Chain A
Amino acid sequence: MTTRHLKVSSGRQELLPWLAVLALFLTFPAWLGEYWLGSAIVGLFYVMMAASWNLLAGFTGQVSFAHAAFAGVGAYTSGILAVKLGLHPLLGVPVGMGIAALLSLGLGALCIRMGGIYLSLTTLAFSEILRLVINNEYQVTRGTMGLKVPFILGDYSKATAFYLMLAAAVAVLLIIRWLLKSDLGLMFRAVQNDEVAADSLGVPVTRIRVTAFVISGAMAGLAGGLYGHYLTLITPHIPSLDLMFLVLAMAVIGGMGTFVGPVVGALFLEVLAEYIRVWGEFHVLIFSLVALGFARFLPGGIVGLATAWLARRGAPAGKGGAA
């Protein structure tokens, strides 16, 4: 009885590849070199962003455009607290996460009842409002110049930032995985599949959706805060729609509604982005076009492709099904 939940694969043998990847990641600071270690840190930031956005969009069907904005809220909250009050980033980041969660709760309670396209539009508007506020409140945020903030922990070291980011990413993924297997996760998927039916079976649809929105927003806040204190310069790029669409492309290309998809998508696109960096911001445009193609022709993403391929090759071996 391993495949209790269709899309959330379980079982001990599934854990091995994850542990192998984790072990590989743990060795990165020893041999990867400064430049690519930087990419790995950014990649982990995107893993957290894409995975938490997918929790919302892929598992409860709510397409939010405020995800980067909540990362920005986390980053700026922690950054401003550090600059103005001298609060240590390791304390500031959780506070930023809390503020992101609170704002998610407010925004969620306001617009989730409306659902569907209205949620998307309201979150888009929220994102723009936040950008304008950050750009204009120069005294507090330093506008487009960016806010100079202290490094996350001790003296600047990419290895430190990497390990912290890795720990956070692992924590975020573990929480998402646990959630998806919990009763709440089952409610998420029920609501995504058919909210009228879920409602009729006793599922408080609005509350479930707001809960997903808040959890996802808090995770974005955490990711943003850590990222900001790694960069040591928090700019409006974090809460930008550029970053939002990049995260969206990562989740879609990796495979929305699967656990692994956004992780694969985020790492894949981050590495790819390094190779096509010479094209400047065009890479977001290209990723968006590719994401459109995936959404239209391969909604399962890379992971969907790989699963189908493995199933075709491994069908005689009898993996999956009743084991």
Chain B
Amino acid sequence: MSELLKVERISKRFGGVQALGEISFSLAEHELLGLIGPNGAGKTTLFHLIAGTLLPDSGQISFAGHDITRLKAYQTCRLGIARTFQVTRPFAKLTCLENVEVALVGSDAPVAREDRDERCAELLGLVGLKGKERLAAAQLNLIDKKRLEMARALATNPKLILLDEVLGGLNSLEMGQAMDLISLINRDMGTTVIWIEHVMGAIMRLSQRVLVLDQGELIFTGTPEQVAQDRRVIEAYLGEQDA
């Protein structure tokens, strides 16, 4: 498997807080990488840096042969990096269909104008929003907003998709559906995935490899089985939970 993403010694500081310090890892094509860590560990910041929503203070990120360290989010998107937001960001006044359409148009996805509505409807169907195409995104409940995030991200035709806590707030049935979808994206569509999640069972089941962040440091990398047994990880997690 060839390397798709390479993150080298990137760091980010917010005022006096070191959000991320010298993080390095790489990601193979078609991999599903779980990203876990306690609250405030820097997981979402890492996504912001990869996607270009924020710029790193130092270090380098390369993606599919391009240096993307200083690229803006819209540029990384066009290279094939899509993301969802932990706190959903729908275009509230646009319909679900239009929300997805923005992603198709914005990312220059190779879809002919006359096929667009069909493609949008297809993606909405895929994430479970069939029949809600004409609803304004503001009218959706939280779960559907998360689904819309997925549909939009997929519409950009990504090589790498960054999922930020897509299971939060879902019941077990919905969680199962979301996991099926993630599995479909990764295994059937062949899209590489980095997935931030707090639901351990889910992430352990689907990830091939897991990175553990704690207070801006990468404290462990390994398979789900190894992670579950690692002392530092258990301390970082259980220590936090017991406190």
* A residues neighboring B (CB under 8 Å): 3-7, 183, 186-187, 189-190, 193-194, 196-205, 322
Contacts and interface: CB of A to CB of B under 8 A. Distances in A.
Interface range on chain B: under 10, 10 to 19, 20 to 34, or 35 or more? 20 to 34
A201 B134 contact: no
7 contacts: A189-B91, A190-B94, A198-B74, A199-B73, A200-B51, A200-B73, A202-B103
Given A200-B73, A202-B78, A6 B136 contact: yes
Contacts of B90: 193-194, 197
Contacts of A202: 74, 77-78, 103, 106-108, 156
Contact of A205 (B74, B85, B105, B152): B74
B77 A197 contact: no
Given A194-B90, A204-B74, A199 B102 contact: no
Nearest to A7: B93
A198 B93 contact: no
Contact of B102 (A3, A7, A190, A204): A190
Given A5-B98, A199-B73, A201-B156, A187 B92 contact: no
B24 interface: no
B165 to A, nearest CB: 16
B93 to A, nearest CB: 6
B134 A322 contact: yes
A183 B134 contact: no
Contacts, number: 91
Interface of B: 51, 53, 72-74, 77-78, 82-83, 85, 89-95, 97-98, 101-103, 105-108, 134, 136, 152-153, 155-156
B94 A200 contact: no
B72 A199 contact: yes
Given A193-B92, A194-B90, A186 B101 contact: yes
A186 B95 CA distance: 11
B74 to A, nearest CB: 5
A62 B237 CA distance: 45
Contacts of A199: 53, 72-74, 77
Contacts of A204: 72, 74
A7 B136 CA distance: 11
A203 B106 contact: yes
Nearest to A1: B117
Contacts of B134: 3, 322
Contacts of A190: 91, 94, 102, 106
Contacts of A5: 95, 98
A322 B95 CA distance: 13
Contact of A203 (B51, B83, B102): B102
Contact of B95 (A6, A183, A203): A6
